[in-house]
Structure 1
Amino acid sequence: MSNLKLGIIGLSEGNGHPYSWSAICNGYDVQAMDKCEFPTIPRYLSERRWPDDQIEGVKVTHIWTEDRSVSERVAAASLIPNIVDSSIDMIGAVDGILLARDDAEQHFRFAAPFLRAGLPVYIDKPFALSLQEASRLMATRTFQGQIYSCSALRYAKELSLTASELAAIGMVRHIIATVPKDWDRYAIHALEPALMLIPDRGRAVAFRKSSIGRASSLAVEYASGACLTIHALGAVAAPISLKVIGHAGWRELVFQDSFSAFKSALETFKTSIEMRQSPISDDFLLEVAELLEAGR
C-alpha cells in the first residue's frame, strides 16, 4: 500500500507545528532543523530514534505558507519535496491537509477550499473560538468525517489516569488546570484532557469568567456536580498541568512529552482519512468551542 500524501499549511506566529508535524511523518535534516526558530523542536526530535520513531504509511509531500522563504526553511528541515505558490495547488496532489496554524480566526479562510474539494482536513487547535465559527466550519464539510481537530494533549499519557488511579482518588469532583500564555491558543491544551477525565459530567450548568492582569480564568459547573477551573496565566514559565481532585484523594498531572502527543494525534488523523470518519464528535468540538468562547 502506498503512503498517504499530506499537504501542510502554516505558519502562524509562535507555532512551529509545520516543522514538528512534518518531521514526525518524514524524518528530518539535523543541520537544517537546528536553524529552526523554535529551539524546543530540534531538542525533542534529537531524543528519538530515526527512522524508527516516525509514522509509517504517511508523508508530508507539499507545503504552503504565506512567505515562500518560510516554506523553504520548513521544507529543508522536514524533508518536504514540494513547495507550492498557492495553497489550492495542493488539491488533487494530496490525500489530506494539515492546517498547522493556531490562529483560529483564520481557520475558515484556509480550510474552506479543501473542505469544499472533499479533502480531509486536520485543523490545528483551537478548532474555533465560538459556536458560530465552529458551526460555519462544520457546515462546509462534504462528508461527516472530513474534519479532524484537537489539542494533541488529549493523547498525552501523562495527562490521563488509569482505572486503578481513578479508583484510588474516587469520583472526580474538581479539576484545576493551568496553562501558560494566552487563553485563545492555550486553554484548549488543558481543557481537552480535563474533559476526558470527567466523561459523565453532563451539560455545563454555570460559568464564571474572571481575569487579573494578563491571566484569564474560567470556572465551570456540570450537571453531575463536577467542576472544572482553567487558568491561562499569560507570559509565565508555567507548565501545562491538571490537579485532579476526587472525594478520596488527588493527583497532579504535568505535560512533558510533545513528540508522543503529536505523533498520536497524527496517527489518528491518518486512520480517520482511511476510515473517512473522525473519532472526535461534533458534540465535543462544539462543547469545547462553547467553553473557549465563554472564557474569552
Structure 2
Amino acid sequence: MMRIGLIGTNNTHGHQLAGFINGWRPDVPIPSRWVHGPLPQFYLWAKTLRELEETGRVPAPDARVTRLWSEDPATEGALIARACEVERLVDSPEEATRDVDAVLLLTDDPNSHVDLAVPVLKAGLPMFIDKPLAPTDDAAREMAEVASASGTPWFSGSAFRFSPSLLAFRDRVTAEIGVPTAVYVQCPGWIERYGIHALEIMNVLVGHWVSEVAGAALPGRSSASLLLEGGETVLLETMSTAFDPPAQAIVWGAHGSLHWESRDVYRSIFSMTTAFLDMARSGVAPVPEAESLELARLANVLAEAASAKA
C-alpha cells in the first residue's frame, strides 16, 4: 500500500484529495460550511465523490493518506482525519513527510512552499505542490533544481489541465474550426491565486509560450492580453467571485468559433489526483518541469501586471 503524506487544509483541496484517495465515511456528514463561510459547492463535490465510490474508483485501491497536517487541527484536521480514516493527524508539516512514499503539499501560501518542499524533494519523495507554486521565479527554480538533483518527480498547477470536458473540447476545436487564432478565457477568483486556472485552460487550447503580456485591473476583476509566439492572441479574465460564473472559454479559428463552460470541476480534481498517484507509482511526472515553471512564471507576471494597473 502506497502511503501519502498530506500537508495543508486551508483550502478545500485537503478535503477533496483525501476523500478521493481514502474515501469519505458515509456516517460523517460532508460539510456545507467551511472555515471561511458557507460552501454549497461541497454538495457538488460530494455528488462526484459518491458517484466515483459507486463505480469502484474511490477509494484508491493501492494508496492511502496515512499522515495529515492541518493549519486547523481541532476542526478541519479532525474532520478529515475522522471522515477519511487517516492514521495520524500530526503536529507539524515535517511529521507528515515521515514514513510515507509521496507527498501532497496543499497549503496555498506560496511563501511556505520552498521551506516545506525542499526537504521532501531532497528525500526523493514524489510531490504535488498546490498553486500558487512560489512567490518568485527564483523560489520556483530552487525547488526544481533540488528535484532535478535528486531525480524526484513533481508537478504543480491547476486541475483544469486534466478536465475531461476541456480535453474533449480541444479535440472538437481541431475537428470543427481548425487551428485556433484567438482565445478568450474567464475564470472565477482573484488573479493572484487563481490566474493559473486561466493559464492552464489557455495552455490546453493553444500552448503557453508567450511573447507579450499587458494587464489591467478594475474593481472585482483583472484581465490580461497575451500574444503567443505562434501569433495567437489570448484574453484572460478573472472575476473575484468564489465559483460563479464557472470557468469558460471561447475559441476562434478559420472556420468559426466554439464555446466551452466548465461543469466538471470535481471530475477534473479527481483526474489530477489520479495523475499524482500514477506519478508516485511510475516516477514519471504528468507535466514537464519546464512547463510547470513557465506557467508559474506567467502566473506571477499576470499578478504583477494587474496590480500595476489597479
> Is 1:53 paired with 2:57?
yes
One of 2, 5, 9 as aligned partner of 2:3: 5
**Unmatched 5+ stretches in structure 1:** none
Alpha-carbon separation, structure 2, partners of 1:275 and 1:34:
32
> Is 1:181 paired with 2:189?
yes
Shift of 1:64: 0.5
2:232 maps to: 226
Task: Return closer, same or farther for 1:148/1:133 CA change in 2, 3 Å cut-off.
Answer: same
When structure 1 is superposed on structure 2, of 19-28 and 49-58 the one drifting more is: 49-58
Superposition pairs for residues 61-210 of structure 1, below 5 Å? 61-69=66-74, 70-141=76-147, 142-160=149-167, 161-199=169-207, 203-210=209-216
Provide TM-score, normalisation by structure 2: 0.86
Shift of 1:208: 0.6
Alpha-carbon separation, structure 2, partners of 1:57 and 1:258:
24
Q: Deviations over 1:148-198 (max 9, x none)?
A: 212111111222325354131121011111111200221211211221211
Q: Deviations over 1:197-240 (max 9, x none)?
A: 114x7x42211111111311111101211112111111373211
One-letter code aligned to 1:193: I
SS where residue 140 of structure 1 aligns?
Answer: helix
Question: Percent of counterpart pairs with the same letter?
Answer: 24
Would you say how many aligned residue pairs link Structure 1 and Structure 2? 290
Query: Whose helix fraction is larger, Structure 1's or Structure 2's?
Result: 2
**Unmatched 5+ stretches in structure 2:** 304-310
Alpha-carbon separation, structure 2, partners of 1:108 and 1:75:
26
Shift of 1:34: 2.5
2:286 maps to: 279
Alpha-carbon separation, structure 2, partners of 1:189 and 1:79:
31
1:255 maps to: 262
Give the alignment's Cα RMSD to 1 decimal: 2.0
Shift of 1:92: 3.6
